[in-house]
Amino acid sequence: MSSSPAMNDQMREKIISQPDVILEDQDLMRALIAANERAMGGNIVDLRGIAMERLEARLARLEDTHRSVIAAAYENLSGTNQVHRAVLRMLDPTDFETFLRDLGGEVADILRVDCVKLVLETVQDDEDPAVRKLGDVLSVAEPGFIEDYLTAGRPGQPRQVTLRQLSEGDARIYGARAQFIRSEACLMLDFGKGRLPGMLAMGAEDPHQFSPQQGTDLLAFFTGVFERAMRRWLS
């Protein structure tokens, strides 16, 4: 039987000169390992082959984790940029009416939400001309409404940022658009000592846009900026 190689000299010399080409090709390495196992027979346990399979599985998990971390970092950076752009746009207006209208317009577009409503607790009648003029963005409610809404009547203090999914939005907040709202972010607002609280409600038609499992750091930052801007107008 001849022991001469079964490949031509040119291919053999190329492999010898560049062995990394084979080592870096996962499919080729698997084929070589499989051929080696067949040559050894079924009664021999190849510990090196088992170790390599485990290392390949571990490498695959590390690659998946790496991709997940990069995706999460990119998403976080994208969210940070969105909030920063929204804050800058929110600080542009020089009068309160424009400030509120931008809130339901360009600011909502930047944050990619379908509806933004500012809810203020007050004893003022919602038929007041000033309230009716800004009715697209501004809603008024009786004292205690916001805490009840955020806690759903359960005991305990409401969180600064509440994220949740809905079967339908509350018409008292979202009006005619309530039937389309499937998730919301509710930002509780503190306007300072001696003033009733407020709430900024962001409604989305996508049921997965806001959920309790999501982080709230960026929205907490946005809440702090919005509170300070509102205190300036209220003063």
Cross-sheet strand order for the sheet of 161-165: 138-141, 115-121, 198-204, 183-189, 161-165
* pTM across the whole model: 0.66
- Write out pLDDT tens, residues 130-183: 555 555 788 888 999 999 999 987 888 889 999 999 999 999 899 889 999 999
Pick the range with the lowest mean pLDDT from 134-138, 210-214, 217-221: 134-138
> Predicted confidence band at 2 (pLDDT cuts at 50, 70, 90)?
very low
Q: Which residues pair with 201 in a beta bridge?
A: 117, 186
Per-residue confidence (pLDDT) for residue 126, from 0 to 100: 55
CA distance 16 to 172: 77
Residue 14 has pLDDT above 90, yes or no: no
Average pLDDT over residues 112-120: 92
- Bridge partners of 188, per DSSP, are 199
Query: Does position 203 have pLDDT exceeding 60, yes or no?
Result: yes
Q: Among 56-60, 118-122, 159-163, 186-190, where is mean pLDDT lowest?
A: 56-60
Contact between 197 and 188 (Cβ < 8 Å): yes
Q: In the block, which residue shows the tokens 């750091």?
A: 217
- 162 SS3 class: strand
Of 184 and 154, which is predicted with more confidence?
184
Sequence-distant (6+) residues with CB within 8 A of 165 are: 182, 183, 207, 208, 210, 211
Residue 185 has pLDDT above 90, yes or no: yes
